[in-house]
Structure 1
Amino acid sequence: MLAGIDQVKEILKENGYKYTSQRAKVFETFVENSDKHLTTEEVYNLVSKKYPELGIATVYRNVSLFTKLGILDQIIFDDNIVRYELRMPHEGHRHHHLICMNCGKVEEFDVDNLDEVEKEIEEKKNFKIIDHTLKFMGYCEDCQKIEEKAKLNEKQ
């Protein structure tokens, strides 16, 4: 993830900010939890285990700055809780999410065949698309199996 750190340092420098030890600790937390969608409070709880001197206001400020600079993506699922995940601005589109409406499990997937749709929208609506997000709502494999077992038990 060294390239990631170098990119973050460059993004901060280009925008007049320094890569401080506090920013490094917040960024490190996202790197170590890159498979998760974290709330600011969760980031604070994880950071404070290693670095108890780091305050929640500092975490909030840095998460906000990283979001503004495109280092983090802000995600809001159907529970209306704001979560964040790492994103490098030069990586193109975000990945998409499968959300289980039963257990709340969130799974990521990277299939992106929407280039033609974007092109059509841009041409027909004269709208410059920078990015998009896509959420599929449904039931995960585990919840489907539980439902199938329940239906079988009802028939017996």
Structure 2
Amino acid sequence: MALENQELRKAGLKVTLPRVKIYQLLERAGEGEHFSAEDIYKMLMEMGEDVGLATVYRVLTQFESAGLVSRHHFEGGHSVFELARDDDHDHMVCVKTGRVCEFTDPRLNELLDEIAEKNGFSISDRTLYLYGQFKDDVQG
């Protein structure tokens, strides 16, 4: 049984062709790649798959509810999705180009844990977006 079938079943979802195809696209995404529902729909169309946009939205919402994907709302844009991962990673978003770069820093994770502990708080999840411009995107 393919890995995506196992993941879908583990999440309590019936294995259907649209779910498998969408999961495979998300799984093949490069590091830091985030896709909108429209991006996924276009990729499926290019592959000759007959999956409607409404189905893509529905499957992504089901995946999010099941904890398979994370949805991000980057400023000035629409929702984008990536497979949910166990690691703590954050995002830098270029306000000029929309480019997104993922990063992780153990020092940041330790600092956030210290802040939470000092305030008697237990972190269950977190999201950090940094907005600005990458030096190579700045024209001068």
The answer on 1:82 being equivalent to 2:79 is yes
The answer on 1:71 being equivalent to 2:65 is no
Correspondent of 1:21 among 14, 17, 22 = 17
Residue identity opposite 1:45 in structure 2? K
The answer on 1:118 being equivalent to 2:127 is no
Name the one with the larger helix percent: 1
What are the ranges of 5 or more consecutive residues in structure 2 without an aligned counterpart? Answer: none
Q: How does 1:6-155 map to 2 (within 5 A)?
A: 6=3, 8-35=4-31, 36-88=33-85, 91-93=86-88, 95-112=89-106, 113-122=108-117, 124=119, 126-144=120-138, 146-147=139-140
Root mean square deviation, CA, Å: 2.4
Measured against aligned partners, the alpha-carbon deviations of 1:111-141 in whole angstroms (never above 9, x if no partner) come to 24223423432552x4432121112222212
Separation of aligned partners in 2, 1:16 and 1:138: 39
Separation of aligned partners in 1, 2:8 and 2:41: 21
Name which structure has the greater RCO, CA cutoff 8 Å, separation 6+. Answer: 2
Q: Structure 1 stretch 103-112 or stretch 10-19: which is displaced more? A: 10-19
Asked if 2 retains the 8 angstrom alpha-carbon contact of 1:34 and 1:85, the reply is: no
Number of equivalenced pairs: 138
Separation of aligned partners in 2, 1:100 and 1:127: 31
Asked if 2 retains the 8 angstrom alpha-carbon contact of 1:98 and 1:106, the reply is: yes
Task: Tell which structure's C-alpha radius of gyration is larger.
Answer: 1
Identity of matched residues, %: 25
SS at match of 1:102: coil
For normalisation by structure 1, the TM-score amounts to 0.74
What are the ranges of 5 or more consecutive residues in structure 1 without an aligned counterpart? Answer: 148-156
Separation of aligned partners in 1, 2:118 and 2:105: 23
Separation of aligned partners in 2, 1:57 and 1:128: 37
Separation of aligned partners in 1, 2:7 and 2:28: 20
